[in-house]
Structures are given as structure tokens and as C-alpha cells.
Amino acid sequence: MGRRSAKRHHVPGTSPGTLAFPAEAGAPGRMTVITYSAEAFTERTVASLAEVPFPTPSGQQTWLRIVGHSPAALGALTERFGVHPLVVEDVVNVEQRAKVEEFDRYLFIVLDVLRATADGAMREEQVSLLLFEDLLISVQQGESDLFKLVEERLRTGRGKMRGLAVDYLAYALLDAAVDHFFPTLERVGERVDEIEDELLARPDRRSFERLHETKRDLLRLRRATWPLREAVAKLERSEGGLVREGTHVWLRDVYDHAVQIIDIVETSRETTSELVDLYLSSVSNRMNEIMKVLTIIATIFIPLTFIVGVYGMNFNTQAGPLSMPELNWRWGYPAAWAVMLAVAAAMVWMFRRRRWL
């Protein structure tokens, strides 16, 4: 919760099914009805749900696309198609966990797709699907290219999509949505590799902050993908008749992709954990190296400074024969230097032998 992962919630105690439309969702939205069969394909924009033929005429399949959370359109889902008010509430409330719910006459699927944007941030996009007999309703928050390729395949009649019912279309949309995680994961993976290289070359506060961000991204991805897997598994096992026999094998493939995504997310999470260790060890290593060298320099000079201090003492050389006679020796000064060089050399040698240098 909080700023970075805000969830809208209505006031506790209000009537369930209360639709909390986001402020920015005032845009009227766009509704398109696509009717297709093996032979035909028509597409038109409608202004209200009343224009959608329901039940779908025999031999045809209908895909109703609702883009934007128009209160009018979504509010009418209950009357027109008998959608449960709680489902409509879930459609409107963005940032749901992915889930699949089975009702008598329809299946409700909600997904949360995380996509890396150009600037490296991640954007969530919620997609709801309502799968009726011969009718599929998809609701998206706003304009997006998420289903662009599927739409084209349907329009151009490539592949076998037109010859099959809307449950196959639902599968194709799901597949597209799930596959959109892969480029995001790839980008995260590249970032992890870059950070690892940086850390091995030269540990850096900046790298660590990038690592921290990446871990947060992976936490979000994980939160999005585990329920996704559960939802797809539930859909694959669904036995209500809305998902036809032949579609299950395709859904199993989506399930495999979901598992693979989780696998990548979890592996990346483990890798980032190890990078934290690597960072900490690198930093402490580097710091130790510096401190060691500096301390050794200081340690070598400290006895030397003591020696020069000794001969800086002002004892009166006249006071007695043992009162600093060195000061008056002919070779006193060179001898002092010799002693100091010998001490320094001995210390360097000792540090070397102990492999401290």
C-alpha cells in the first residue's frame, strides 16, 4: 500500500457492488462489437450495450471490447447480461489479484499485466474477460496495444481463430496477456546482469540503489504472477462447458508459460539476493583494502617519528657523558637516518612476510 502501490478501496461498510470509478476514468470509453464466423467478420462501434445482440445468433461468435471504464457501460453489464454486481465491482476496481470465477452462465477472468515502459518503470494494466456462450466481453482500463496482434489475426482470418468459438479467442487474449510478461522479464534480467557486472568490476552505491529498485520490481512481478498461475490453472481445470474440450490443451500451454514466468521471477529474486551479498562483500573488501594500506603507512612512520622526537629533546649535552652524546658525534646524524631506514625496512619486510602488503 502507500504511494508506490496504492490500492483504491471504498469506505468500509458501504454497500457491496458500489462502483468506485477512478477520477480519471471519466472518459466515455469506446465499445466495439466484433462478430465473426468461419466465413464472415464484421466490426462496429456501439454507443450502448443495448445494441449488442444477445444471445449471439447461432453460428456466430461475438467479441465485445470495452476500452475505458465508462460508468454507463459497466453499470449496464448487470442488467443486460446478468453479470453479478460484485463482478462489475471487480472489473472497475483496478489492481485486483488475477483470478478466475465460475458462474452459471459465464466465466469471469481478471488479469493484471505488468509491462516495463521505455523509462524503466513498470506499468500495470488490468484486463477483465467475461466468457459467455458465444460471447466474449473484454474490458480494458484504457487504449493499449495489448491485444493488437490478436485482433489483426482475427480480422485477417489468419490461423484457425475464426473457425473456433469465443473460448479459443479468450485463450488467445490470455496467451497474449501472459506473453507480455516475457519482454518485461527480459529487461529486468538484463538489468540484473548489468548490475552484476558493475558490482564485480567496482562496487558502487548507485548500483546498490538500482539493485534495490530491481528487487522491488521483482516483488511486484511476483505478487502479480503467482495469482496468475493459480487463475490459469483453475481455468484449465474448469469443467463448466464454457471452455470447450479442445481448448484445454491450449490453456495448458498458457499455464506452462505462467509457470515459466514464475520460475524466472524466482530465479531472478535469488540472483538479486546473492548480488546483495556480493555488493556487501565487495564494499567491505575494498574498504578493508584502503584502511589496511593507510594503517600500514601510519604504522611505519610512527616509530620513525618517535626517533626524530628523541633527538629533538633538549637535554643538556654538557650535563654528563650519557646526556645525549650522540648529538655531538661526527656520524650521529647519518647514523640516526640509518637506524630509521633500518626500522622502516624491517617493518615493511615483516608486513610482507605476513602477507599484509
**How far is it, in rounded angstroms, from Cα 351 to Cα 356?**
5
Does residue 328 belong to the site contacting a second copy (CB under 8 A)? Answer: yes
Task: Figure out which of the listed residues 51, 79, 143, 270 binds a second copy, where binding follows CB under 8 A.
Answer: 270
Grid cell, residue 271, equals: 540472483
183: CB partners within 8 A, 6+ apart: 115, 116
Binding positions for a second copy, 23-42, rule CB under 8 A = none
Task: Figure out which of the listed residues 212, 237, 244, 352 binds a second copy, where binding follows CB under 8 A.
Answer: 212
Q: Determine how β-strand 122-132 pairs with β-strand 61-67.
A: unpaired
Contact of 218 with 268, CB cutoff 8 Å: yes
Does residue 291 belong to the site contacting a second copy (CB under 8 A)? Answer: yes
**How far is it, in rounded angstroms, from Cα 293 to Cα 348?**
12
**How far is it, in rounded angstroms, from Cα 58 to Cα 81?**
17
24: CB partners within 8 A, 6+ apart: none
Task: Figure out which of the listed residues 280, 339, 346, 348 binds a second copy, where binding follows CB under 8 A.
Answer: 280
Stretch that binds a second copy, among 21-29, 31-39, 68-76, 319-327 (CB under 8 A): 319-327
**How far is it, in rounded angstroms, from Cα 331 to Cα 221?**
78
Stretch that binds a second copy, among 43-51, 54-62, 236-244, 313-321 (CB under 8 A): 313-321
Binding mask 42-71 for a second copy (x = CB under 8 A): ------------------------------
Task: Figure out which of the listed residues 20, 122, 233, 276 binds a second copy, where binding follows CB under 8 A.
Answer: 276
Does residue 352 belong to the site contacting a second copy (CB under 8 A)? Answer: no
Binding positions for a second copy, 191-210, rule CB under 8 A = 191-193, 200, 202, 205, 208-209
Does residue 342 belong to the site contacting a second copy (CB under 8 A)? Answer: no
Q: Where are the beta strands (DSSP E) in the chain?
A: 30-36, 41-46, 61-67, 99-102, 107-116, 122-132, 135-140
Stretch that binds a second copy, among 29-37, 53-61, 85-93, 136-144 (CB under 8 A): 85-93
Stretch that binds a second copy, among 31-39, 74-82, 231-239, 291-299 (CB under 8 A): 291-299
Does residue 106 belong to the site contacting a second copy (CB under 8 A)? Answer: no
Task: Figure out which of the listed residues 172, 231, 242, 243 binds a second copy, where binding follows CB under 8 A.
Answer: 172
Closer to a second copy by Cβ: residue 137 or 251: 251
Binding positions for a second copy, 243-262, rule CB under 8 A = 249-250, 252-253, 256, 259-260
Closer to a second copy by Cβ: residue 8 or 44: 8
Dihedral of the alpha carbons of 34, 35, 41, 43, in degrees to the nearest 10: -30
Count of residues that bind a second copy according to CB under 8 A = 125
What residues are paired with 30 via a beta bridge?
67
Question: How big, in percent rounded to 5, are the helix, strand and coil portions of the chain?
Answer: 55, 15, 30
Q: Give the shortest CB-187-to-a second copy separation in angstroms.
A: 8
Phi-psi domain of 271 (left: phi exceeds 0; alpha: psi -120 through 50; beta: other): alpha
Contact of 109 with 231, CB cutoff 8 Å: yes
Task: Figure out which of the listed residues 51, 79, 143, 186 binds a second copy, where binding follows CB under 8 A.
Answer: 186
Binding mask 125-164 for a second copy (x = CB under 8 A): ---------------------xxxxx--x----xx-x---
Q: Give the shortest CB-58-to-a second copy separation in angstroms.
A: 27
> In which residue are the cell numbers 538489468 written?
191
Contact of 62 with 134, CB cutoff 8 Å: yes
Does residue 185 belong to the site contacting a second copy (CB under 8 A)? Answer: yes
Stretch that binds a second copy, among 13-21, 38-46, 129-137, 235-243 (CB under 8 A): 13-21
Does residue 332 belong to the site contacting a second copy (CB under 8 A)? Answer: yes
Contact of 107 with 238, CB cutoff 8 Å: yes
